[in-house]
């Protein structure tokens, strides 16, 4: 059984998609054909959208599920005409909020993005992304005094995407430094990290998963062997415990989860809200 699901927004559609995916994930037995329609910001586009939805309804012989985060009431009313089960986020909750806040909402389209385009916010995020790229993989260590966090871990344990996500989503300046076999053999924290020990956060990963990931990069290498992965992971975890570095096992987590769990554990403040 397949059902069509439309995520409709006057902006990027990222919020509508987030809610929709969350809700529909609760019905595992049903396969959904998910369609995101962003920037539906005029009556004309709304009418085209209704036509698309109705076509799906006919083809599926079932009402599509529609999740919309459109701000403008007129555009929403147009969407509501579709032959669909509609989850209308603004329509459902705006009245409640207006009553409680004793204020009419401004109904301004384009205000509904999770991250606004206000110049300072944008600049902070871009600054942070550039910082993450410039200070990736231990490439440069002399700016660690500017870093909010220094993520460490063995090769391919998820440092780079974590740092980039922390930068993009939260404006956090995250550097990362790879723990190599040499560092492990030395039995001590690499010199560039020592002076910034309070900023360090460790990542670890199950050796089996690490071996799989490394095999994609360098198939059948010593680097990717389960023996080597076992050794590095065991040693790096010993180092974290010995040096009292907080750490997280990333095996079962998405990048978003790793980033938000680091925020939670370290209490680092976001630079954009």
- Residue 157 assigned to a binding site: yes
- Write out the H or E segment, with its range, that includes residue 204: strand 200-204
Site for a copy of itself in 178-207 (CB under 8 A): none
Site for a copy of itself in 64-83 (CB under 8 A): 65, 69, 71
- Residue 3 assigned to a binding site: no
- Residue 104 assigned to a binding site: no
The C-alpha atoms of residue 98 and residue 178 are separated, in whole angstroms, by 51
Token look-up 């559609």 returns 13
Looking at beta carbons only, is 149 or 163 nearer to a copy of itself?
A: 163
CA 39 vs. chain centroid, Å, equals: 21
Where do the H-state alpha helices sit in the chain? 14-24, 43-60, 73-80, 89-101, 119-134, 159-170, 181-186, 191-194, 207-217, 226-242, 255-266
DSSP string of 156-193?
TSSHHHHHHHHHHHH---EEEEE--HHHHHHTS--HHH
Looking at beta carbons only, is 27 or 143 nearer to a copy of itself?
A: 27
Looking at beta carbons only, is 234 or 269 nearer to a copy of itself?
A: 269
Q: How many CB atoms lie within 10 A of CB 160?
A: 18
Q: How many CB atoms lie within 10 A of CB 245?
A: 18
Shortest Å, Cβ 38 to a copy of itself: 5
Site for a copy of itself in 26-45 (CB under 8 A): 26-30, 34, 38-39
Judged by CB under 8 A, which of 96, 182, 185, 222 binds a copy of itself?
Answer: 96
Judged by CB under 8 A, which of 2, 25, 222, 267 binds a copy of itself?
Answer: 25
- Tell me if 260 contacts a copy of itself by CB under 8 A: yes
Judged by CB under 8 A, which of 51, 114, 191, 195 binds a copy of itself?
Answer: 114
Stretch that binds a copy of itself, among 50-58, 187-195, 233-241, 254-262 (CB under 8 A): 254-262
Shortest Å, Cβ 252 to a copy of itself: 6
- Tell me if 92 contacts a copy of itself by CB under 8 A: yes
Q: Which residues contact 25 (CB under 8 A, 6 or more apart)?
A: none
76 vs 104, 108, 146, 254, 268, CA distance in Å?
A: 17, 13, 46, 33, 39
User: What residue numbers does the annotated binding site for ADP cover?
Assistant: 153-160
User: What residue numbers does the annotated binding site cover?
Assistant: 153-160
């Amino acid at each position: 059984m397949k059902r069509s699901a439309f995520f409709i927004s006057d902006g990027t559609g990222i919020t509508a998609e987030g809610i929709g995916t969350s809700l529909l994930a609760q019905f595992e037995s049903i396969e959904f054909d998910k369609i995101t329609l962003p920037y539906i910001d005029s009556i004309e586009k709304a009418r085209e959208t209704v036509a698309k939805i109705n076509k799906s309804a006919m083809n599926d012989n079932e009402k599509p599920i529609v999740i919309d985060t459109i701000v403008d009431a007129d555009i929403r009313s147009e969407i509501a005409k579709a032959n669909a089960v509609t989850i209308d986020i603004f329509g459902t909750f705006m009245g409640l909020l207006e009553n409680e806040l004793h204020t009419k909402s401004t109904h301004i389209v384009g205000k509904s993005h999770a991250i606004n385009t206000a110049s300072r916010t944008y600049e902070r995020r871009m600054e942070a992304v550039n910082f993450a790229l410039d200070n990736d993989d231990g490439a440069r260590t002399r700016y660690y005094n500017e870093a909010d966090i220094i993520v460490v871990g063995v090769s391919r344990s998820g440092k780079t995407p974590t740092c980039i996500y922390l930068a993009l989503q939260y404006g956090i300046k995250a550097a990362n430094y790879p723990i190599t076999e040499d560092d492990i053999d030395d039995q001590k924290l690499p010199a560039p990290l020592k002076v910034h020990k309070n900023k360090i956060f460790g990542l670890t990963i199950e050796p089996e998963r690490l071996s799989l990931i490394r095999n994609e990069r360098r198939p059948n290498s010593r680097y990717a062997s389960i023996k080597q992965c076992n050794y590095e992971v065991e040693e790096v975890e010993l180092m974290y415990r010995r040096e009292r570095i907080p750490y997280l096992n990333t095996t079962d987590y998405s990048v978003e989860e790793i980033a938000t769990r680091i925020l939670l554990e370290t209490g680092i403040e976001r630079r954009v809200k």
